[in-house]
Amino acid sequence: MNRIGNELNKLVNRSLDRHVRLAVTGLSRAGKTAFITSLVNQLLHVSTNPRLPLFSAVREGHLLGAKRVPQIDMHVPKFGYDEGMSALLESPPVWPDPTRDVSQTRLALRYKPQKGPMKLLQDTATLYLDIVDYPGEWLLDLPLLEMDYLSWSQQQAKLLKGKRSELAQSWLEMAEEFDPLAPADEALIERLSAVFTEYLYKCKAEGGLHWVQPGRFVLPGELAGAPVLQFFPFVWADKYSEAQLQQADEHSNFGMLKSRYKYYQQHVVKAFYREHFSKFDRQIILVDCLQPLNAGPESFNDMRQALDQLMQSFKYGRSSLLRRLFSPRIDKVLFAATKADHVTPEQHPNLVSLLQQIVNDAWQTASFEGIKMDCVSLSSIQATEPGFVSHQGQQVPALRGHTLSGQAQMLFPGEVPRRLPNDAYWQQYGFDFVNFRPLDIQSDEPLPHIRMDKALEYLLGDKLR
Ligand code: GDP
C-alpha cells in the first residue's frame, strides 16, 4: 500500500512539475553571455543570496534552491557557464568569451507553491528553467521570408549609401565583371561571397552598424563554410532588365544565387523559427544603448533600425507571417538596457527612458497581441563602484573601477539623454565610457549586479507562486 502511495505521489509530482523556456537575445556584444552567466549564478546561490530583494520568490522565502541539470535538447550546444565563471574568478578577472551560436542550459528550481492545485497537492514543486541564448542578428532575417531573391537584392542596393557604400567598395569592384547570365561558376561565387561577407563584418566592426543581412553570415555558428552561406545580393540591376534576370535559368550564375537564397530562407531562417523560436515562453532582449551613444548618430540610428527589425518577430497579428508558420508562445518580453554600471546611478532612469523611447515607437505602431512588455536597466556583472569626486568645490557623482589593462580610474562618463538624441545633442554632448574589467569576486559569493533581481521577478516571478 505504502509503495503504491509513494508511486502515486511521484506521479502527481511529475505531472505538476512545470517548465519554462526563457530565451535571451541581443545584438552581438549586447551582453548575453554576461547576463546568462550572472542569471545562473544568482539562482545557484539563491538560498543565501542577499542580492535579490526585488525577486519575490527569494524575498518571501518560497524559492528553496536551484541546481543545474542535464539539458533535454542534446543537439543544442551547452552554454559555457563553467568557462565563464573560471574567467571571472581569474586574478585579475576577465570577461567570459561570448558565444556565437545558439546554446542552452537547464536549471531545476525547487519552490513552495503558494496557490492553486499545486499548493493543495504538494509541499514543494520543481520548475524546470531552460535558458536559451541566440544571436539577435538571426532575427534580422525574418523579412527575408517575405522577399524573393530579386526583391531582396533591390532592397540591398538601396541600402548601399554613406558608410555602407564605402565599406562595400572592394566587393563592388571585384564583382564589376560578374555576369549573372553566364553558366554558374561555383568557385567565383564562393570568392565573391567571401568578400561580401567581409563587407558585412566590416559594417559591424568598423562602421558600428548592426543591421546586416543575412544575419547568419556574420554569426554562422555550425554553418561556417557551408554553400548555403555563399551568395550575395545582385545589386547591379541597372545593367540588366528584370525580365532578363527572371529568365536566367537554374544553371546560370543568377540561378545559383537564387537557389542558395531560397535554401537559406527554408533551411536556415525558417528552421530557426520552427525549431527554436516557436518553443520560447519568455524573452529578454538585451540592448547596449551606450556603445552607439559613444559611436555617434549613424551608429545610433542603425541600432534603432536593427531593433525595429528585431521586434517584427514579436508581432503576432492574426495575419502575421509567424502566425502562419506556427503558433508563437511568448507572452512576456523584457527589454533590458545592459551595462548600467558604465554610467553613474542618477543616470539610470534616463537610460530606461531612452530605451523605452527606442522600443516604444515600434511597439505602438504594431500589433503585439497578448504580449506584455517592460523595460529595465541592469548590469549583469558589475564592474564599477559608484562614488563622488570633488569638482570646483562640489561633490559630483563618479565611477571607480579598473580598465581592461588594469589601470585604476575614477571618472564621470557623461549624461545619458532622456529622449532620443537630436542634432543638438550630438553637437553639444560627448559621451565617453571606458571598458572596465569585472570586479574581484570570491567563488562562494554571488556575482555583484544591478537589478538582475528586477529582471528575474518580471521573467519568472509568476511562475514561482
Ligand atoms: P554577447 O556578445 O552579447 O554575448 O556579449 P558579452 O556578454 O560577451 O558582453 C560583451 C562585453 O560587454 C563584455 O566582454 C564586457 O566587456 C561588456 N559587458 C557585458 N555585461 C556587462 C556589465 O554588466 N557591465 C559592464 N561594465 N560590462 C559588461
| DSSP of 355-410 | HHHHHHHHHHHS--TT-EEEEEE-BSS---EEEEEEETTEEEEEEEEEBTTS-EEE
Closest C-alpha among 366, 362, 302, 365 to residue 335: 362
Region of residue 231 (left: phi > 0; alpha: psi -120 to 50; beta: else): beta
Ligand 1 centre from 145 Cα, in Å? 31
Measured distance CA(243)–CA(386) in Å, rounded: 64
Ligand 1 centre from 340 Cα, in Å? 11
Closest C-alpha among 114, 16, 19, 119 to residue 62: 114
Counting from 1 in the atom list of ligand 1, the atom nearest the Cα of 26 is 3
Measured distance CA(35)–CA(30) in Å, rounded: 9
**Taking a C-beta distance cutoff of 8 angstroms, is the pair 378, 454 a contact?**
yes
In degrees, rounded to 5, the angle at the alpha carbon of residue 166 between the alpha carbons of residues 165 and 169 is 85
Residue 308: all three cell numbers together:
525595429
Q: State if residue 342 touches ligand 1 by the CB under 6 angstroms criterion.
A: yes
Whether residue 423 lies inside any domain: the answer is no
Q: Does ipTM exceed 0.90?
A: yes
Are residues 179 and 212 located together in one domain of the fold? yes
Are residues 208 and 354 located together in one domain of the fold? no
Ligand 1 centre from 288 Cα, in Å? 9
Give me the number of domains the chain comprises: 3
Length of the chain: 465
pLDDT of residue 394: 85
3-state helix, strand, coil in the chain (%, to 5): 45, 15, 35
Are residues 14 and 114 located together in one domain of the fold? yes
**Taking a C-beta distance cutoff of 8 angstroms, is the pair 306, 27 a contact?**
yes
pLDDT of residue 309: 87
Are residues 78 and 6 located together in one domain of the fold? yes
Question: Which of 274, 297, 326 represents a domain boundary (last residue)?
Answer: 274
Ligand 1 centre from 310 Cα, in Å? 20
Q: How far is CA 278 from CA 141, 398, 465, in A?
A: 15, 44, 25
Are residues 93 and 191 located together in one domain of the fold? no
Q: How far is CA 41 from CA 26, 92, 461, in A?
A: 20, 19, 17
Closest C-alpha among 437, 456, 440, 458 to residue 448: 440
Are residues 206 and 298 located together in one domain of the fold? no
Whether residue 421 lies inside any domain: the answer is no
Ligand 1 centre from 34 Cα, in Å? 6
- One digit per residue, the tens of pLDDT, for the chain of length 465 reads 556 655 655 555 555 568 999 999 999 899 999 999 999 999 999 888 888 999 999 999 999 999 999 988 888 899 999 999 999 999 999 999 997 889 999 999 999 998 766 666 668 899 999 999 999 999 999 999 999 999 999 999 999 988 899 999 999 999 989 999 999 999 999 999 999 999 999 998 887 788 899 999 998 888 988 999 999 999 998 889 888 998 899 999 999 999 999 999 999 999 999 999 999 999 999 999 998 888 888 889 889 988 988 888 888 777 788 888 888 889 999 999 999 999 999 999 999 999 999 998 777 766 777 788 999 999 999 999 999 888 788 888 999 999 999 999 998 888 899 999 988 888 887 677 788 999 999 888 999 999 999 999 999 999 998
Which residues lie below 8 Å from residue 146, measured CB to CB, with a gap of 6+? Answer: 321
Measured distance CA(304)–CA(358) in Å, rounded: 6
Whether residue 54 lies inside any domain: the answer is yes
Counting from 1 in the atom list of ligand 1, the atom nearest the Cα of 27 is 3
Q: State if residue 32 touches ligand 1 by the CB under 6 angstroms criterion.
A: yes
What residue's CA is closest to ligand 1, atom 20? 31
Q: Is 86 helix (H, G, I), strand (E, B) or coil?
A: helix
Whether residue 426 lies inside any domain: the answer is no
Are residues 299 and 348 located together in one domain of the fold? yes
Ligand 1 centre from 28 Cα, in Å? 9
Are residues 249 and 340 located together in one domain of the fold? no
In degrees, rounded to 5, the angle at the alpha carbon of residue 276 between the alpha carbons of residues 272 and 277 is 85
The C-alpha cell 545580393 sits at: 233
Are residues 68 and 29 located together in one domain of the fold? yes
User: At 460, which amino acid appears?
Assistant: L
The C-alpha cell 565611477 sits at: 399
Question: Which of 214, 243, 274 represents a domain boundary (last residue)?
Answer: 274
Q: State if residue 34 touches ligand 1 by the CB under 6 angstroms criterion.
A: yes
Ligand 1 centre from 338 Cα, in Å? 8
Ligand 1 centre from 29 Cα, in Å? 6
pLDDT of residue 117: 62
Whether residue 45 lies inside any domain: the answer is yes
Whether residue 258 lies inside any domain: the answer is yes
Question: Which of 230, 246, 274 represents a domain boundary (last residue)?
Answer: 274
**Taking a C-beta distance cutoff of 8 angstroms, is the pair 450, 100 a contact?**
no
Q: Is 236 helix (H, G, I), strand (E, B) or coil?
A: coil
Q: Which CATH number belongs to the domain containing residue 121 in this structure? A: 3.40.50.300
Are residues 166 and 234 located together in one domain of the fold? yes
DSSP category for residue 142: G
Are residues 445 and 310 located together in one domain of the fold? yes
Closest C-alpha among 60, 38, 89, 96 to residue 451: 38
Pocket test for ligand 1, best of 132, 219, 290, 381 (most atoms within 8 A of CB): 381
Residue 296: all three cell numbers together:
555617434
Whether residue 434 lies inside any domain: the answer is no
Q: State if residue 33 touches ligand 1 by the CB under 6 angstroms criterion.
A: yes
Measured distance CA(344)–CA(400) in Å, rounded: 10
Measured distance CA(305)–CA(210) in Å, rounded: 8
Q: State if residue 288 touches ligand 1 by the CB under 6 angstroms criterion.
A: no
Are residues 71 and 123 located together in one domain of the fold? yes
What residue's CA is closest to ligand 1, atom 8? 98
pLDDT of residue 120: 61
Q: State if residue 341 touches ligand 1 by the CB under 6 angstroms criterion.
A: yes
- Helices and strands counted in the chain (H then E): 19, 10
Domain extent, residue 86, equals 2-134+277-383+439-464
**Taking a C-beta distance cutoff of 8 angstroms, is the pair 139, 313 a contact?**
yes
Sheet of 332-337, strands arranged across: 63-69, 103-111, 125-133, 18-26, 282-287, 332-337, 372-377
Q: State if residue 189 touches ligand 1 by the CB under 6 angstroms criterion.
A: no
Report phi then psi at 337, rounded to 5.
-80, 115
pLDDT of residue 49: 82
Ligand 1 centre from 87 Cα, in Å? 13
